[in-house]
């Protein structure tokens, strides 16, 4: 044994550091973003199992005139960019795991399954966003992770009918149950 650390230990250390960075970024963005910080509050008066949750938080984002070009400071542009960057980092880690010469078949299979799950989530998010926009919303962004879905729509306010329409779109396009769908609006 020529060194203290073998390839497996180095790979494990890299994955632990990547996980630590992901946890830190999640904490950072969840505490600095007032929209997601207030995501657990609900404006619905009834609390029945299966009811859609949505947040009407007018003080978080100001309404601006839509422009022909995308504003890099726009919430939706920034959210899509952050989502794509996080996905690309995850895909790069998966590629590294799959291409590791010492990776077992089991590790490679798990990496392949994770890559397929990421691809499916991307496809579902795209379909859901398109269908929500078709319902008349100006813009939206969808985040799917495991069995949960967060939807942020550009609207002055949301009523229960609109929330139900969005929830139906999410449940029809994915295996996510209505109880795990959170809907928020941004002006």
18-34 pLDDT, tens digit each: 777 777 777 677 665 44
In a domain, 152, yes or no: yes
* Whole-structure pTM value: 0.58
Q: What's the total number of domains in the chain?
A: 1
Q: How many other CB atoms are there within 10 angstroms of residue 122's CB atom?
A: 15
How far apart CA 151 and CA 50 sit, in angstroms, is 16
CATH number where 50 lies = 3.30.300.30
- Residue 65's domain spans which residues? 33-72+121-186
Residue 125 is assigned to a structural domain of this protein = yes
Residue 148 lies in a domain: yes
Give 153-165 as a 3 state SS string.
EECCCCCHHHHHH
C-alpha span between 137 and 85 (Å, rounded): 25
Please check whether residue 129 lies inside any domain of the structure. Answer: yes
Confidence of residue 105 (pLDDT cuts 50, 70, 90): confident
100 found inside a domain: no
What's the pLDDT score for residue 96?
83
Q: Which range, 4-18, 56-70, 143-157, is most confident? A: 143-157
Over residues 33-50, the pLDDT tens digits come to 444 434 444 444 444 444
Residue 20 forms part of a structural domain: no
- 77 within some domain: no
Which has more confidence, 56 or 159? Answer: 159
Residue 56 in any domain: the answer is: yes
Mean pLDDT across the chain, nearest whole number?
A: 76
pLDDT of residue 109: 84
């Amino acid at each position: 044994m020529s060194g203290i650390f073998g390839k497996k230990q180095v790979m494990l250390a890299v994955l632990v550091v990547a996980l630590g960075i992901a946890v830190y970024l999640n904490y950072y963005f969840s505490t600095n973003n007032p929209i997601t910080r207030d995501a657990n509050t609900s404006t619905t008066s009834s609390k029945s199992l299966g009811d859609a949750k949505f947040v009407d938080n007018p003080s978080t984002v100001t309404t601006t005139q839509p422009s022909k070009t995308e504003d890099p400071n726009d919430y939706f542009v920034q959210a899509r960019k952050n989502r794509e960057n996080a996905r690309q980092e995850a895909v790069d880690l998966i590629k590294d795991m799959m291409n590791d010469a010492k990776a077992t078949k089991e590790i490679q299979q798990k990496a392949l399954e994770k890559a397929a799950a990421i691809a499916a989530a991307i496809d579902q998010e795209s379909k859901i966003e398109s269908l929500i926009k078709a319902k008349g919303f100006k813009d939206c962004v969808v985040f799917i992770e495991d069995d949960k879905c967060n939807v942020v729509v550009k609207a002055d306010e949301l009523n229960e009918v609109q929330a139900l329409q969005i929830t139906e779109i999410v449940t029809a396009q994915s295996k996510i149950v209505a109880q795990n769908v959170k809907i928020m609006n941004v002006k």
